[in-house]
Copies of this chain bind each other. A is one copy, B any other.
Amino acid sequence: MRLFDFARAPNPRRVRMFLAEKRLDIPKVPVNLYRMEQLSPAFLAINPGGTVPVLETDDGTYIAESLAICLYLERLHPEPSLFGKSPRAEALTVMWTRIVESEGLDAVAEVLRNLSPGFRNHVLPGPVPYPQLPALVERGYRRVAQFFDRIEQQLARHAHLAGDDLSFADLSLLAAVDFAGWVDVRATDGRPALARWYGRVAERPSAGA
């Protein structure tokens, strides 16, 4: 098994945190996004979507999408559970992971990719170039604030995103909070429940993964 990885990117990071929580040691294959290696013909043959992370399984299957990778690893290595131990807990973990992806990580990416010169012709992942749209920077910042306000409501009532226990949704949220820092959003400012949660989750050894 191998993980196609890039140290700086938020999606590979939440998979590495998941591996650390599970105490799984999987060899990493670096794909340098700064050098656009994810768009090389060799990598696009592995993942036509041109994204990392990708897990290569022992039978040579390539699995893209962080949620798919982590659910696969959860099946193979159920302990410690990071998707909960009941259908209900699993459903809430998947639900909150999807919310973090589409409302959080995607919104931060909308700001960053429409703002930073490094993404000038590269506003969306993958091989097709899309131009930057300055209006999406403003929209993205509003979406990011809306997302963290929603999270604050949830964490004011629950110790973790999907309920009582740490789950993959929390690892995804930690990646989103730190990713927001790239566009100078301090998500924990003025959000005491999120700040308390962050204090606990960011202290775990897995946060350094």
A residues apposed to B, CB below 8 Å:
48-49, 57, 59, 61, 63-65, 67-69, 71-72, 75-76, 87-88, 90-92, 94-95, 98-99, 102-103, 106, 124, 126, 128, 130, 133, 135-136, 139, 142-143, 146, 150, 153
26 pairs of residues in contact across A and B, judged by CB atoms under 8 Å: A48-B150, A49-B99, A49-B103, A49-B150, A57-B88, A61-B88, A61-B91, A63-B92, A64-B99, A65-B98, A65-B99, A68-B91, A68-B94, A68-B95, A71-B90, A71-B91, A72-B88, A72-B90, A75-B87, A75-B90, A76-B87, A102-B102, A126-B146, A128-B142, A133-B135, A135-B135
* Nearest CB in chain B: distance from A12 CB, A: 16
User: Please, how many angstroms separate the alpha-carbon atoms of A153 and B44 in the complex?
Assistant: 13
